[in-house]
Amino acid sequence: MQNDFDLLIIGGGINGAGIARDAAGRGAHVCLVEKDDLAQATSSASTKLVHGGLRYLEHLEFRLVRESLIERERLLKMAPHIIWPLRFVLPHDKGLRPKWMLRLGLFLYDNLGGRKLLPPTRDLDLRDAPHGSVLQDRLTKGWEYSDCWVEDSRLVVLNALDAKERGADIRTRTECVGLTRVADGWVATLRGADGGESQITARAVVNAAGPWVDTVLDRAHPSETQQNLR
């Protein structure tokens, strides 16, 4: 088993698996360790949405939204077996954002990211079925727009499998219990499911441990090296 890597990734959620796939695809020798199973925590308890961040348009984050929309389109094209179109209804309510602002935002949302696969926004009369029977009478105007939903844990597993096919070493049930900075990188102490420990070296470390990111930082020695893992 190889014990010398270019990159050690700690955490088997969507960030860790995605980084592993990307780095392995670029020719790096990658090891990903996950103390439990892939997509064990946040990445299997997400909103399940693949979206462009409609609300960020109000804060003029046009570049962020554009990048997210392009990624949404790319993901839908690459993985239509686990990602599907999802339509949302956005009603207009008096006293809140004006109609022109909502429609302008949805126009930008339709066109910033080069949408090709998803249907565009359409106007709705909310007094018609099925909306009229479930919404309050004051809500008469709205719009239907597109985003996507995803089986999030499967997305993680597929990224990890593709990373493995590209040469990455994916180790589940393996916890990083120690990190020591050395002249040319890091020495990581790993503990397997059987309690046995081993060591590997890596030129760089990515801390993708999600809610446990600080726990990983606390295991880096000496403490002044922790900033290098953020």
pLDDT at 22: 97
Q: Is the pLDDT of residue 98 over 90?
A: yes
Q: Same domain, yes or no, for 164 and 203? A: yes
pLDDT at 230: 53
Q: Same domain, yes or no, for 137 and 162? A: no
pLDDT at 222: 52
Q: Same domain, yes or no, for 75 and 111? A: yes
- Round to the nearest angstrom and report the end-to-end CA distance of the chain: 28
Domain final position from 150, 178, 207: 150
Q: Same domain, yes or no, for 34 and 58? A: no
Q: What is the spatial distance between Cα 145 and Cα 111, in angstroms, rounded to a whole number?
A: 12
Cβ contact 70:113 at 8 Å: yes
Q: What is the spatial distance between Cα 72 and Cα 64, in angstroms, rounded to a whole number?
A: 12
Domain final position from 119, 150, 181: 150
pLDDT at 223: 46
Cβ contact 159:208 at 8 Å: no
Q: Same domain, yes or no, for 97 and 170? A: no
CA distances from 93 to 28, 113, 127 (A): 52, 27, 13
**How many degrees, rounded to 5, is the angle at CA 147 between CA 145 and CA 152?**
160
Q: What is the spatial distance between Cα 175 and Cα 167, in angstroms, rounded to a whole number?
A: 21
Average pLDDT along the chain: 93
Question: Which are the contacts of 84, defined by CB distance < 8 A and separation ≥ 6?
Answer: 148, 149, 150
pLDDT at 219: 85
Q: Same domain, yes or no, for 62 and 141? A: yes
Give the mean model confidence (pLDDT) for residues 222-228: 50
Q: Is the pLDDT of residue 173 over 90?
A: yes
The model's pLDDT over 5-18, given as tens digits with 9 standing for 90+, comes to: 999 999 999 999 99
- CATH code of the domain covering residue 38: 3.50.50.60
The model's pLDDT over 36-88, given as tens digits with 9 standing for 90+, comes to: 999 999 999 999 999 999 999 999 999 999 999 999 999 999 999 999 999 99
Domain final position from 150, 175, 191: 150
Q: Same domain, yes or no, for 34 and 77? A: no
pLDDT at 220: 83
Q: What range does the domain containing 223 cover?
A: 4-45+154-229
User: Two tokens at 170?
Assistant: 């994916």
What is the count of structural domains for the chain?
2
Q: Is 79 helix (H, G, I), strand (E, B) or coil?
A: coil
